[in-house]
Amino acid sequence: MPPFSRLSLPAPAAFRKRVDQLGLLVAGDEGLPYWETAAAYQIGAQPAAGLLKAAETLQALCRRAVATIIDTQDFSPFSIESAAMQDAITASWKAGDASLYGRMDFSFAADGTPKLLDYEADGPLALPEASYLQWEWFEALPAAQRQGASQENLLYENLLAQWPRLKLLPRAAIACGGATTADGLPADTAERFTAEYLAENAREAGASLDLASIEAVGWDGDARAFTDAQDQPLATLLKLYPWHWMEQEPNVETLGVNRTRLLPAAWTRLLADKAFLAVLWTMFPDCPFLLPASLDPADIAGDRVAKPCRGGDGEGVSLPNQSHENGAALLFQQHCPLPVFPGEDGCQAHAALSVWMVGDTASGLGFRESSGPVTDAGHRFVPHILRPA
């Protein structure tokens, strides 16, 4: 059994209006609102603390694995063809570049042990929802429902503390994908929602991040730097744009001469690749929080799932007895189904619990759910309550 339960708990009217104004009640993949306004998940303080400890244990193992990859220069599990990309990964690790944030997604063994499904370490979405929005939801609850309770949610505070460690230089921007407006700024997309939150948080920490569309980011060969929408060289570029996409771009070779500091740190490219789960399992098979994983399906006994190594947020996942993509590099992982709860209108709710990381610190919990056995970026976000017992 998972260490949490699902409650029928309608959102207060004022908060419902708030998320409606933000466009989060628009129907998603399943014809249901993205923000679940009729339920919440409840977890006790002790199991929540255990989850944070598990995530930080895994983070420490991740760092050990990256150190080994850098020492041996063995990038073979990741199919990184660009020497410039390999050099950028090595340089960012040796420079001690700090990571910003990431999201570990978990399911649970029959005895309740958390099992890592994925590590979305390269600009995952749903950060604002897990941070300030679910805290606003909690504060909007009637006092009788909040009494003695809280939330496992220090994302805002820990991000404030992390910006100085990144040592942002003046002329910094955050770029995200999606549609672009006529003035070169990103249109109102999920990426922009995250980018605006990060930019505001950075400003409160004393740093300055301008907003840009990834389509407006250019390259100045003379300055050997990436440029903003005004074609001005950038000292720092924080991108909500996966590193593995950049590997397919013609300008990937500019990484070898680039003077713009790129974030998240290039070494997080390894963490975000599903092949990294196979590396972790090979190195640390006794870790209780890992599932058997391999690039060879013959290595995984029993039921297994197949995941594109460069996919994200449930993209392209094939469950046991389902056919999988041909041609894409795949990770095979022992199947560990998501917990299932009764949902509204007789529907099932498959719940994925996430631990959000800021740097190496576990900083909060988030829940997403779907009517089917796989969650992705379009499925419902559900807030949570932390009980003292």
Residues 50-65 have pLDDT tens digits of 999 999 999 999 999 9
pLDDT at 237: 95
Taking the whole predicted model, whether its pTM rises above 0.85 is answered as yes
Instruction: Average the pLDDT over each of 44-53, 166-175, 181-190, 342-351 and give the range with the smallest value.
Output: 181-190
Q: What is the pLDDT of residue 86?
A: 96
Residue 114 above 90 pLDDT? yes
Q: What is the per-residue pLDDT for 149?
A: 95
Q: Is 120 exposed, middle or buried (0-12, 13-18, 19+ CB in 10 A)?
A: buried
pLDDT band at 8 (very low <50, low <70, confident <90, very high): very high
SS3 content of the chain, % helix, strand, coil (to 5): 35, 25, 40
How deeply is 299 buried, as exposed, middle or buried, from its count of CB atoms within 10 A (0-12, 13-18, 19+)? middle
Percent of the chain exceeding pLDDT 90 equals 75
- Is residue 39 within 8 A of residue 343, CB to CB? The reply is yes
Q: Among 64-68, 116-120, 123-127, which is the least confidently predicted range?
A: 123-127
pLDDT band at 152 (very low <50, low <70, confident <90, very high): very high
User: Using the 8-state DSSP alphabet, how is residue 339 labeled?
Assistant: P
List, in sequence order, every residue forming a beta bridge with 226; answer none if it has no partner: 219
| Whether pLDDT at 80 is above 80 | yes
Query: What is the torsion angle, in degrees rounded to the nearest 10, for the CA atoms of residue 88, residue 91, residue 95 and residue 97?
Result: 20
Banded pLDDT at 256 (limits 50, 70, 90):
confident
As a whole number of angstroms, the distance between CA 68 and CA 345 comes to: 50
Q: Does residue 264 carry a pLDDT above 90?
A: yes
Per-residue pLDDT reduced to its tens digit, 378-389: 889 999 999 997
Model pLDDT, residue 381: 95
**Res 121: pLDDT:** 94
DSSP 134-166: HHHHHHHS-HHHHTT-B-SB-HHHHHHHHHHHH
**Lookup result for tokens 């979405």:** 125
Question: Of the candidates 378, 370, 296, 389, which has an alpha carbon nearest to the alpha carbon of residue 107?
Answer: 370
Q: Is 241 helix (H, G, I), strand (E, B) or coil?
A: coil
pLDDT-derived band at 187 (thresholds 50, 70, 90) equals confident
Q: Closest Cα partner for 201 from 156, 262, 250?
A: 156
Q: Tell me: the pLDDT tens digits for 315-343?
A: 889 999 888 766 689 999 999 999 999 98
Residue 343: its pLDDT value, please?
86
Structure tokens that stand for 141 in this block: 């609850």
Residue 271 has pLDDT above 80, yes or no: yes
Task: Using alpha carbons, list the distances in angstroms from residue 277 to 92, 116, 366.
Answer: 21, 9, 21
- CB 44, CB 3: distance < 8 Å: yes
Residue 109's pLDDT is 96
